[in-house]
Chain A
């Protein structure tokens, strides 16, 4: 019997598998397919202060081993989420929920987090300072250590819940950003968001996406994510949620060996809606092969001084 439970800044998860923000909505679509209670947690769709329609079509392009998206943080806004989605989630899932929070100003980030204080099921705030698909926000905060620290401080002052900062890979040194967040009081780090990319239609000679650029995800980014989780694990003493191209139980273990305490599954859910279920069911066998009885023992296991 393998113990799959893990802990994230004092929050216990029954296993390390977490559907990643933006690939799981607020849980409704997947709840029609399987019991969400098998999940360690799930990270809901990035939510901003105001409702957002997102970017014009097309927003999706396929790539070798992955995809680009330029959804642009479409969401119903924090008030609608608190009023409608939070009570509905409670019916679908009884475990701890990760609230992914977006914003365009320090005040907005703080307000959004404050509005979740009365939602006991929201166990962790995942603060998105890394969305590549919105202008004048998102990634701008995550590409500079000072502004990343400023968002961290603003959010920490607004909430008692553990705060995980979700970082962008589109930076020179992600460890610098992680250190700035840690110094500003973050309780954990989530990485990576998508890599900025572009496809061009040969026939029209225009970018495939209406937004021109989009975020690359899928198996193609997995080695990039593993490397960055490794770097951040070396840089800060905070729990890490590893994210980026994870598609199998073996990928989960690899990400944990790089330094992750828990692992998010993103694009894989879009290709196979049962991806998280299949991965969770596969974890005991992989752990047994690796000779570990507690999966949490894997975290950071590839770092040998």
Chain B
């Protein structure tokens, strides 16, 4: 973990409530896709934990942010040049070495964010994952071109059928039964449904929680697992299929 100042470079609106933010700063503490940063905002007591979408060693930090309240609204409205106090390199991140031969990445809504950086690094490591992204509707979909440009097999589902398969990412998964290992991030109901699919021998699930500190001190975000209580912020946010207790 590192605390440092990042500078807002630009914000790009992707849908009615979702933005891509590019910041610059010291990214040296970020070691794995699936980690997150915790951003201090003027006038807000708690920081805002945001999943890392992608980063470069040269200091670029890409975030996808959904506006869910006043804090995230304040964040996406930061003008270029705004300096933000950021705790970076938080959480364990995805473990790419466990992916096997036929991994699939499944993301729902804003949960697709960490899967982009994950897909990039899997490709770098010589593994081409299948990617399944789920949205409420075509109007809510984002980052499809960016994922398509990676060259992975890309499958999309929307709840209303306005784009891709009608249904959920679990419907995508059923259509690619050869995929036997999952990396996923999204709403709890989605994670639960994926967890129940027998096709995955194992997998890594990215969890979300209301956090106090984001670095393991306050145990505000602890959840029960088969290995005892784990802090989503420090021992997670990635938990393995075998250890998850709903």
Interface residue ranges, A against B (CB under 8 Å): 22-25, 28-30, 32-33, 45, 53-54, 57-67, 69, 71, 74, 218-219, 267, 269-274
- For window 197-217 of chain B, which residues contact chain A by CB distance below 8 Å? 209-213, 215-217
Chain A residues with CB below 8 A from B192, complex form: none
Chain B residues within an 8 Å CB radius of A22: 218
Residues of chain B at the chain A interface (Cβ within 8 Å): 1, 3, 40, 44-47, 71, 87, 209-213, 215-224, 229, 234
**Are the C-beta atoms of A25 and B47 separated by less than 8 Å?**
no
Q: Which residues in A have their C-beta under 8 angstroms from that of B223?
A: 57
B229 in contact with A74 (CB, 8 Å): yes
Q: Is the CB of B46 within 8 A of A273?
A: no
A32 touches B1 (CB 8 A): yes
Checking B1, B46, B210 against A58 with a beta-carbon cut-off of 8 angstroms, the contacting residue is B210
Main secondary structure of the interface of A (DSSP, over half): loop
Nearest B-chain residue to A63, judged by Cβ? B45
Tell which of A24, A54, A62, A65 touches B229, judged by Cβ atoms closer than 8 Å: A54
Q: How far is the CA of A28 from the CA of B221 in the complex (A)?
A: 17
Q: Tell whether, in the assembled complex, residue A57 and residue B210 are in contact, meaning their CB atoms are under 8 Å apart.
A: yes
Interface of B: prevailing SS:
loop
A274 to B3, Cβ gap below 8 A? yes
- Which 3 pairs show the lowest CB-CB distances between chains A and B? A270-B213, A60-B220, A58-B210
Do A270 and B222 contact each other (CB < 8 Å), given the known contacts A53-B229, A61-B210, A69-B212? no
Contact A71 B45 (CB under 8 A): no
Query: B71, B212, B224, B229: which contacts A60 (Cβ < 8 A)?
Result: B212
Subset of 28 A-B contacts with CB under 8 Å? A23-B213, A24-B217, A28-B216, A29-B213, A32-B1, A53-B222, A57-B210, A57-B222, A57-B223, A59-B220, A60-B211, A60-B218, A60-B220, A62-B45, A62-B46, A62-B71, A67-B45, A67-B212, A69-B218, A71-B220, A71-B222, A74-B219, A267-B45, A270-B218, A271-B45, A271-B213, A272-B40, A273-B3
Q: List, in ascending order, chain B residues with CB within 8 A of A71's CB.
A: 218-220, 222
Interface centre among B1, B3, B229, B234 (most CB of A within 10 A): B229
With contacts A29-B215, A53-B229, A218-B45 taken as known, whether A273 is within 8 angstroms of B87 at the C-beta atoms is yes
